[in-house]
Amino acid sequence: MARKPKYVYSFGGGKADGKAAMKNLLGGKGANLAEMTSLGVPVPPGFTITTEVCTAYYENKKKYPPGLEKQVAAALKKVEREMRMKFGNPKNPLLFSVRSGARQSMPGMMDTVLNIGLTTKTIPGLIAKTKNARFVWDAYRRLIQMYADVVMEKAAGVEPADGQGIREQLEHVMGRVKTARGYKSDLDLTAEELEKITQVFKAKIREILGKEFPDDANDQLWGGIAAVFQSWNGRRAVSYRRIEGIPHHWGTAVNVQTMVFGNMGDASATGVAFTRNPATGEKVFYGEWLVNAQGEDVVAGIRTPNPINEAGKTADTGHLESLEVKMPKLYKQLDGIQKKLEKHYKDMQDIEFTVQDGRLWMLQTRTGKRNGPAAVRMAVEMCREKLISPDVAVSRVKPEQLDELLHPMVDPEAEKTAVELAKGLPAGPGGASGQVVFTADDAEAWGKEGKKVVLVRNETSPEDVHGMHAAEAILTAKGGMTSHAALVARGWGKCCIVGCSALDINVAGKYMNVAGKTIREGDWITLNGTKGRVYDGMLQLAFPDLESNQDYQALMSWADDIRKLGVRTNADTPQDAGKARSFGAEGIGLTRTEHMFFEPSRIMAMREMIVAETPDARRRAVMKLLPFQRQDFKGILEAMEGLPVTIRLLDPPLHEFVTLDATQMVTLAGQLGISPEKLKARVNSLHELNPMLGHRGCRLGIAYPEVTEMQARAIFEATAELSKAGRKVHPEVMIPLVGSVNEFLDQEKLVRAQADAVMREQGVKFEYMVGTMIELPRACVVADRIAEGAEFFSFGTNDLTQTTFGFSRDDVATFLPDYITGGVLPADPFQTIDQEGVGELVKMGVERGRAVKPKLKIGICGEHGGEAESVKFCHRTGLDYVSCSPFRVPIARLAAAHAAIEEKAAGKAPKAAKPAKKVAKKKAKKVAKKKAKKKTKKVAKKKATKKPAKKKASKKPARKRAKRKPAKKKAKKVVKKKAKKKPAKKPKKKAKRKARKRR
């Protein structure tokens, strides 16, 4: 007989059906509850209903699979036995919490119901047992509030007007009683008052929702289970999944767990903590707690929590009592558990605990979210503690998280004289300025208009997530470092300040009073999220210095050791080139030359060239640009000395240089000495209906060879000048928008003629390469033909995406958002490479190119070169390098390392890398290296005279060496200690790097 499917997994009493590795089935929370139980950590017993049930529930018109009820009943019995209590029993009632738990944590996005099992039958029994009527009535009013909100309103699909939800309405009931009695806190309410409140609550529910609050334990349990499954498809959960890229088909598990209470008096408490500081990465046990409270009180920010220990105190929280001092024994036990958990999971844990009447219970452990700087620090420190390997450390940091290390910070000088409005808790680092808005919807709407906003709220809730995402920064009046705002902002690496109690916010009036001022919607403020300071106005922001971040340097040096893919930059100026080099760029993969023509001193010559009627006149005009261009290229080559520099010949449509209004036309005609009519006629003749498919790229150079000649001459004169001065420069001339081999050959001939001429004239020999962009589908198809001439390929995936999809890259915004929201395309193909279509063409180009020239150097210089997933694709496809904007260089370096680690884990090498690998092995040997040196010298000499095309392959070793040197130096500095300790590893590392460079 076939085994019945298992839908329910029990845990408790030191035994568990599940384990940590079963996250897909049990969700993160369920899997970890099982693991903690097996580790001997005190966990309240319970059971997990699997994610498969959720999937089945949605696939089967919201019906449970047969047999689920029976399995739940059996698991429930187990818990009853373990706890020696009974669910729904009037004398000895067992209460449950019902919580969601997806594979990947979705903080606060789904629903929870606590205290399930409290009914008019069980309440007297629990009062008799606990001898604490106040506690029981308080638990009952919490159950009613939560249940009404989650089960009876949200899960039932009731959508109240903003502020009119049942939860708020019940909150008002309680608020009115507190005001009437002059109470400040919920804790002031007596048992009798709470009992009355629960009666009013039930009447309100009847009145507003037209239903009775259920008075049966089992009804409550199944209502709670259904509500959790329903919340998987709730609005906020769906929007969070979309933002985080979590698949909708995963489903959530449901965890039904024995309730333990942190609100049973002064020997009870609750808290949330991290095994390391999630904001800085520092290795200190870090968290917050509240005496006599339930978990939601800490997270919701209703009460400002205390620091868990003395080490975690700040100037703002120094006066608050820590758990370490208030309950030293329990703190010691908790500290032991947190250490055990971190050691077991080998990663920073985010834990939740409750102390019930002097007994500690662990409610949750999960991998803690952290911001970028903290992720880097933790990864490096854990590796140094030998908890994890360098590979694991490198893969722990998401490439995008490095963005946060490049975060703008409030300029310290500007901060000195700024008007401080308020102080709060520094929940998310970095600085941000923006216009104040008071609702999440406004934040989203203003964001869509392109405005920078700071979302200011009393506290945030998961309903605000869309506005929080749209905002530059988040500021809340309430809440602690583990409040909703703090957790969500940290996960996104967003600037955030919470618990800023000086703010007196009037949401309806759209203003706030603070520090004697009124700040209205639209006013600018600046946040220093690292210090927790709020300032009036828009302050200058400054970028941090990556060079001084030793953890970052160490991590990146490990990443560099691991990765096989080279990383270059797209840079058009010496300044950008220098910046990119400081970020670790190993050369330039694309210098666009067009902007160089638009400077006022040059544009005239360009226009003269365009309107010239004879080749001679055209040449005279264009040659006026030569000295400027020579200077441009000299600067860039110098800034990248020792590294390859790919310079692309002019690419944009010609008419862009003569886009003029009527007055400008008359002025230009005068300057050019021709009639305005003639000029107009010429300009009109350049008009194109589809300029991006028109007279651009190599088509320009074919029609106007003078432009190619001038640019090639400028590149080579700069090279000659620098070579004579003993500088090592490596220009690579790149022909754009080639679709056939003849286009390439036409331009190559012009370029090489200039190289020969300059070498002859200047009596100097230098190396250079001539290659092409592959950015048209045809170029991919005939890549074998093109490779016969080209010495390198660089995939221009911007144009390749445009021409493959037939989407105009300039007009795509008019329809692409509909494609993404409608699921027609999974992502913007101009950001993340479309592997299925464009990617296949890239693969074809690589395969066909290398079939002719196995060692053909191939890179990518489209925007995709700095996007993590696309970088990984490039690695798998066997490219030699990616090239991206300077600020994305670190991201590409890390993504390339991730790709290599993933490949290692999958136990396979990239197909296209095979031939190169063999070469790398051979060349790693010293003897071979020497040979290569000699060969290079010989070849370089020969090359200047004849047959340039054949010499390129043998030129490579020399270039590789030159390219490698600075990187080696840098790495040595950074990992000085490491290198000192383990000298034996050095040669291996060298060999590895060479292997990479030769791919």
Active site residues: 484, 861
Shortest separation between residue 866's beta carbon and ligand PEP, angstroms: 12
Q: If contact means CB under 5 to 8 A according to the sort of partner, which of ligand PEP, Mg ion, none does residue 762 touch?
A: none
Of 442 and 775, nearer to ligand PEP (C-beta) is 775
3-state SS assignment for residue 313 = coil
Beta strands in 604-748 (DSSP E): 644-648, 730-735
Of 31 and 590, nearer to ligand PEP (C-beta) is 590
Q: Does 798 bind ligand PEP (CB under 6 A)?
A: yes
Q: Does 576 bind ligand PEP (CB under 6 A)?
A: no
DSSP per-residue letters across 205-223 = HHHHHSSPPP--HHHHHHH
Of 444 and 775, nearer to Mg ion (C-beta) is 775
Stretch that binds Mg ion, among 74-82, 507-515, 770-778, 913-921 (CB under 5 A): 770-778
Residue that has been written with the tokens 């107009």 in this structure = 680
Shortest separation between residue 883's beta carbon and ligand PEP, angstroms: 8
The two three-digit tokens of residue 439, written as one number? 């609702």
- Interface pick for ligand PEP out of 79, 351, 554, 861 (rule CB under 6 A): 861
Of 295 and 796, nearer to Mg ion (C-beta) is 796
Burial 796-831 (b: 16+ CB within 10 A, else e): bbebbbbbbbebebeebeeebeebeeeeeeeebbbe
Shortest separation between residue 649's beta carbon and ligand PEP, angstroms: 12
**Rounded Cα–Cα distance for residues 305 and 292 (Å):** 11
β-pairing, 46-49 vs 8-12, is: antiparallel
3-state SS assignment for residue 271 = strand
Q: Does 590 bind ligand PEP (CB under 6 A)?
A: yes
| Residue 775 · residue 736 · CB < 8 Å | yes
Q: If contact means CB under 5 to 8 A according to the sort of partner, which of ligand PEP, Mg ion, none does residue 883 touch?
A: none
606-665 residues in contact with ligand PEP (CB under 6 A) are 651
Q: Which residue is nearest to Mg ion (CB)?
A: 799
Residue that has been written with the tokens 């193909």 in this structure = 829
β-pairing, 286-291 vs 453-457, is: unpaired
**Other CB atoms within 10 A of residue 17 CB:** 18
Residues β-bridged to residue 520 = 511
- Interface pick for Mg ion out of 566, 739, 796, 865 (rule CB under 5 A): 796
Q: If contact means CB under 5 to 8 A according to the sort of partner, which of Mg ion, ligand PEP, none does residue 556 touch?
A: none
The beta-carbon contacts of 73-76 under 8 Å, at least 24 apart in sequence, are 74/8, 75/8, 75/9, 75/10, 75/47, 75/256, 76/47, 76/256
Of 590 and 932, nearer to ligand PEP (C-beta) is 590
> Closest by alpha carbon to 481, among 427, 529, 430?
427
Stretch that binds ligand PEP, among 94-102, 410-418, 790-798, 901-909 (CB under 6 A): 790-798
Number of residues that bind ligand PEP (CB under 6 A): 10
Q: Does 775 bind ligand PEP (CB under 6 A)?
A: yes
Q: If contact means CB under 5 to 8 A according to the sort of partner, which of Mg ion, ligand PEP, none does residue 442 touch?
A: none
Shortest separation between residue 575's beta carbon and ligand PEP, angstroms: 19
Q: If contact means CB under 5 to 8 A according to the sort of partner, which of Mg ion, ligand PEP, none does residue 592 touch?
A: ligand PEP
Of 816 and 940, nearer to ligand PEP (C-beta) is 816
Of 464 and 775, nearer to Mg ion (C-beta) is 775
Shortest separation between residue 241's beta carbon and ligand PEP, angstroms: 31
Q: If contact means CB under 5 to 8 A according to the sort of partner, which of ligand PEP, Mg ion, none does residue 138 touch?
A: none
Q: Does 560 bind Mg ion (CB under 5 A)?
A: no
Stretch that binds Mg ion, among 98-106, 120-128, 150-158, 794-802 (CB under 5 A): 794-802
Q: Does 778 bind ligand PEP (CB under 6 A)?
A: no
> Closest by alpha carbon to 896, among 370, 402, 348, 346?
402
The two three-digit tokens of residue 607, written as one number? 């226009």
Q: How far is CA 609 from the centre of its chain?
A: 46
- Interface pick for ligand PEP out of 262, 434, 862, 890 (rule CB under 6 A): 862
Shortest separation between residue 586's beta carbon and Mg ion, angstroms: 22
Of 539 and 861, nearer to ligand PEP (C-beta) is 861
- Interface pick for ligand PEP out of 799, 834, 867, 880 (rule CB under 6 A): 799
| Residue 71 · residue 8 · CB < 8 Å | yes
Stretch that binds ligand PEP, among 190-198, 226-234, 336-344, 797-805 (CB under 6 A): 797-805
Q: Does 863 bind Mg ion (CB under 5 A)?
A: no
- Interface pick for Mg ion out of 381, 442, 775, 880 (rule CB under 5 A): 775
3-state SS assignment for residue 372 = helix
Q: If contact means CB under 5 to 8 A according to the sort of partner, which of Mg ion, ligand PEP, none does residue 771 touch?
A: none
Shortest separation between residue 155's beta carbon and Mg ion, angstroms: 52
Of 368 and 701, nearer to ligand PEP (C-beta) is 701
Stretch that binds Mg ion, among 25-33, 104-112, 788-796, 816-824 (CB under 5 A): 788-796
Shortest separation between residue 592's beta carbon and Mg ion, angstroms: 9
**Measured torsion, CA atoms of residues 32, 36, 39, 43, in degrees rounded to the nearest 10:** -160
Residues β-bridged to residue 474 = 455, 496
Shortest separation between residue 849's beta carbon and Mg ion, angstroms: 18
Burial 438-461 (b: 16+ CB within 10 A, else e): bbbebbbebbeeeebbbbbbbbbe
Stretch that binds Mg ion, among 379-387, 468-476, 771-779, 948-956 (CB under 5 A): 771-779
865 Cβ neighbours under 8 A, 6+ residues apart: 570, 589, 797, 859, 871, 874, 882, 883, 884, 888, 892
Q: Does 572 bind Mg ion (CB under 5 A)?
A: no
First to last CA, the chain: 56
799-818 residues in contact with Mg ion (CB under 5 A) are 799
Stretch that binds ligand PEP, among 143-151, 463-471, 794-802, 813-821 (CB under 6 A): 794-802
> Closest by alpha carbon to 436, among 489, 492, 514?
514
716 Cβ neighbours under 8 A, 6+ residues apart: 731, 754, 755, 758, 759, 766, 768
Number of residues that bind Mg ion (CB under 5 A): 3
Stretch that binds Mg ion, among 31-39, 357-365, 498-506, 793-801 (CB under 5 A): 793-801
**Other CB atoms within 10 A of residue 241 CB:** 19
94 Cβ neighbours under 8 A, 6+ residues apart: 79, 80, 83, 85, 86, 87, 117, 258
User: Helix 372-384 crosses helix 550-562 at what angle (to 10 degrees)?
Assistant: 70
**Rounded Cα–Cα distance for residues 272 and 305 (Å):** 10
Shortest separation between residue 796's beta carbon and Mg ion, angstroms: 4
Q: Does 592 bind ligand PEP (CB under 6 A)?
A: yes
Shortest separation between residue 808's beta carbon and ligand PEP, angstroms: 12
Q: What is the largest CA-CA distance in the chain?
A: 106
- Interface pick for ligand PEP out of 796, 886, 890, 948 (rule CB under 6 A): 796
Q: How far is CA 397 from the centre of its chain?
A: 10
3-state SS assignment for residue 690 = coil
Q: If contact means CB under 5 to 8 A according to the sort of partner, which of ligand PEP, Mg ion, none does residue 731 touch?
A: none
Shortest separation between residue 606's beta carbon and ligand PEP, angstroms: 18
Of 50 and 801, nearer to ligand PEP (C-beta) is 801
Shortest separation between residue 696's beta carbon and ligand PEP, angstroms: 9
What totals of helices (H) and strands (E) does the chain contain, helices first?
40, 34
**Binding region for ligand PEP (CB under 6 A):** 590, 592, 651, 775, 796-799, 861-862
**Binding region for Mg ion (CB under 5 A):** 775, 796, 799
